[in-house]
Amino acid sequence: MIFPDEKMSTKDQKSIQNADVVQKWVDLLARWGDNPAADIPHVLNLLDDECEWILMATGEHFKGKDAIMKMSEKSAAAIRHTAEHKLQVTNLFACEDKGCLEYVHRALLRLPGQTELSPIEMPICIVFQFNNGKILRAQEYYEIQQMYGGNIKPLYSDAE
């Protein structure tokens, strides 16, 4: 964590603050599924009250903390990380009101309709918009074909 200096411009201070929010997200995601009851409140603390989370590959759109919490609970129930199955951050940056996180997500994932965990290795990019040091909007991009063999299905919403 980098601590903003009072001599820095407000813009630079916000950039550092927003990069710290993204890093906290990474830290939570790295242990995702281990103890969701403990981690989900920390996730919600990173979100603006009006936050939106959009999974671009499936078209799922979650608006508000309650909807994002339900999506997070389903995600945490489906994902496990191990020493071999973990995150590898490839790029993380933020500015005054936007940020980006790129990573390779290696995990064991239980897809909808499956009982077994399957290993995945998937590049993911999340573009963030911030409001007062909180995530206001997140657009998450990934190749869903890697999970479903070309059939696009909702991951976390109840829609089929």
CATH of the domain at 93: 3.10.450.50
Place of tokens 């995990």: 107
Q: Provide the residue range defining the domain that includes 80.
A: 10-148
Q: Would you place residue 100 in the very low, low, confident or very high pLDDT band (cuts 50, 70, 90)?
A: very high
Q: Could you tell me the pLDDT band of residue 68, with boundaries at 50, 70 and 90? A: very high
- For residues 13-25, give the mean pLDDT: 93
Residue 34: strand pairing partners:
none
Q: Average pLDDT, stretch 53-80?
A: 89
Q: Mean pLDDT, to the nearest integer, of 29-40?
A: 77
Residue 135 in any domain: the answer is yes
Q: Which among 96, 84, 101 has a CA at the least distance from the CA of 27? A: 101
Give domain status of residue 4, yes or no.
Answer: no
- pLDDT at position 153 is 54
Between 137 and 26, the more confident residue is 137
Q: Residue 68 has what DSSP assignment?
A: H
Q: What's the number of domains the chain is made of?
A: 1
Domain presence at residue 2: no
End-to-end CA distance of the chain: 41
Q: Identify whether 156 is part of a domain.
A: no
pLDDT for residue 48: 97
The widest CA-to-CA distance across the chain, in whole angstroms, is: 54
Decide the pairing of beta strands 98-109 and 134-142: unpaired
Place of tokens 């078209």: 59
Residue 118 in this model has a pLDDT that exceeds 90: no
- What average pLDDT does the chain have? 84
The mean pLDDT of 43-63, rounded to a whole number, is 93
Residue 131: per-residue pLDDT: 96
State pTM to two decimals.
0.84
Rounded-to-integer distance, Cα 150 and Cα 57, Å: 11
pLDDT at 160: 45
Q: Is residue 158 part of a domain?
A: no
Give the whole-angstrom CA distance, residue 101 versus residue 23. 9
